[in-house]
Structure 1
Amino acid sequence: MTIDTDNITFDRAISLSNDLIYSVEKGEVTPAEAAEHLNSIVSSINGARGFFVALLTGESALSNDLPEQFLDAFRKHSDIVCDLLTKNLIMSATMMVTHRRNGDAQMEANSRSVNEKTKRIIRRLDNEAMARHLLSMTDAIKHKLQTGEDDHGSDYSPFLQRWRYDGEQLKEGLAALSDLNPD
């Protein structure tokens, strides 16, 4: 299966990823065979976004115990993958606050599940690129909490500006980051 990653849409990536995850779970393809396709999918931003939506929001047991071949594919495309995992970590943490405020316990639980799955993947990646992304996000959030300003000059300043998280949400995001970097 060859995937045109230059033109893959987000929706197409979700569909391909769901098929890939299902095929691995059912034993129709080996993790090594699936990793070849995964390499193509996560080589683009839309592809990687679609894959992580399928993996993190789905009910697949695969998300709790990813094959090492999948992690290798993530490492090959670490600029894209580490950025997305960092943003997913913060978005899921901040959405827990939003859903809690709205009294939506089910959606809060779903966001918590995405957050925990994201943390598991980040811990297993355990590479310098991931550490740099987490540190950059930590610095950007701390700056925002201390000064109230979004424009820290960090790669994640535009992300924080776009989503306009409040103090409680940022603290929840920082707590998620602290779970990964306890120092």
Structure 2
Amino acid sequence: MNLIASPEISFEEAINLTAEFIDKIPHLSDTEKSSIVSALVLSENGARGFFVTYLTSENTIVNSIDLAIIQGFKSSPEIVSELLVKNVAMSTAMKITHTRNNNLEMAEKSGIVTQRSLNLIKNLSLSAITKKVKMLIDSIELKEGLYQDFLTKWGYDDEQKQAIIDIFSE
């Protein structure tokens, strides 16, 4: 699979490339996997497209931690850590929303995204993630800070905010 690292990659292109990548994971070398992931997470659009596709994929291969993919993530620790922390927060809150709306299938899918994100966070062991989690929790508790705009934008209520704190405290 040929993928040229491009900071200009669009969100849609990243989604399509990630879907193709997931299908080819079993046939790629570790070097190829790491290189492709590094190229995709080089920019925010690429990383967003990667995570939206990878974390929601129906292909169970993404449930396994692949050290070559983890290595690729480490090439962009700031972008990757920011998006993983937000993915945990969003999927945790959405699981509550879907449960309230009796959409148990979507609630289950949100739970899967949360667990996949947490597994990646655990295996990445990036100090940037620890800092961002603390800043997110501080923003929830103090109702101000770096993540206040994010929390306000999505309109999370007290139960959702508490669930976000709890999921990071487990």
- Verify: 1:5 aligned to 2:22, yes or no: no
Is this contact kept in 1: 2:135–2:145, CA < 8 A? no
Q: What's 2:43 paired with? A: 44
Code of the aligned partner of 1:22: D
4+ residue runs over 6 A deviation: none
1:132-143 equivalences in 2 (<5 Å): 132-143=131-142
Question: Shift in Å at residue 63 of structure 1?
Answer: 2.0
- 1:159 aligned partner: 150
SS in 1 for 2:4: coil
The percentage of aligned residue pairs carrying the same residue is 33
Report the CA distance between 1:153 and its aligned residue: 2.6
C-alpha distance in structure 2 between counterparts of 1:121 and 1:4, whole Å: 22
When structure 1 is superposed on structure 2, of 57-66 and 32-41 the one drifting more is 57-66
In 1, distance between residues paired with 2:166 and 2:154? 18
1:170-181 aligned at under 5 Å gives the runs 170-179=161-170
Gaps of 5+ in 2: none
Answer yes or no: is the 8 Å Cα contact 1:56–1:117 preserved in 2.
yes
The alpha carbon displacement at 1:12 in A equals 0.9
Aligned positions, number? 169
Q: What do residues 80-108 of structure 1 show as CA deviations (whole Å, max 9, x unaligned)?
A: 00000000000000001100111111110
Partner of 1:149: none
Is 1:97 equivalent to 2:96 in the alignment?
Answer: yes
> Is the Cα contact below 8 Å between 2:91 and 2:114 reproduced in 1?
yes
TM-align CA RMSD: 1.3
Q: Distance in 1 between matches of 2:129 and 2:145?
A: 19
Residue of structure 2 equivalent to 1:111: 110
State yes or no: 1:169 paired with 2:170.
no
User: 3-state DSSP class of the match of 1:76?
Assistant: coil
Q: Which amino acid aligns with 1:143?
A: L
SS state of the match for residue 74, structure 2? helix
Counterpart of 1:122 in 2: which secondary structure?
helix
- AA aligned opposite 2:114: N
Per the alignment, residue 60 of structure 2 pairs with 61
Q: Which runs of 5+ in 1 are unaligned?
A: 145-151
- How much does 1:60 deviate? 2.4
TM-score by length of 2: 0.93
Q: Provide the C-alpha distance between the structure 2 equivalents of 1:50 and 1:122, rounded to a whole number of angstroms.
A: 18
Tell me the equivalent position of 2:30: 31
Aligned partner of 1:12: which letter?
Answer: E
Distance 2:61 2:142 in 1: 36
CA distance in 2, matches of 1:6, 1:163: 27
Contact kept in structure 2, 1:24 and 1:31, CA below 8 Å: no
Q: Counterpart of 1:161 in structure 2: which amino acid?
A: T
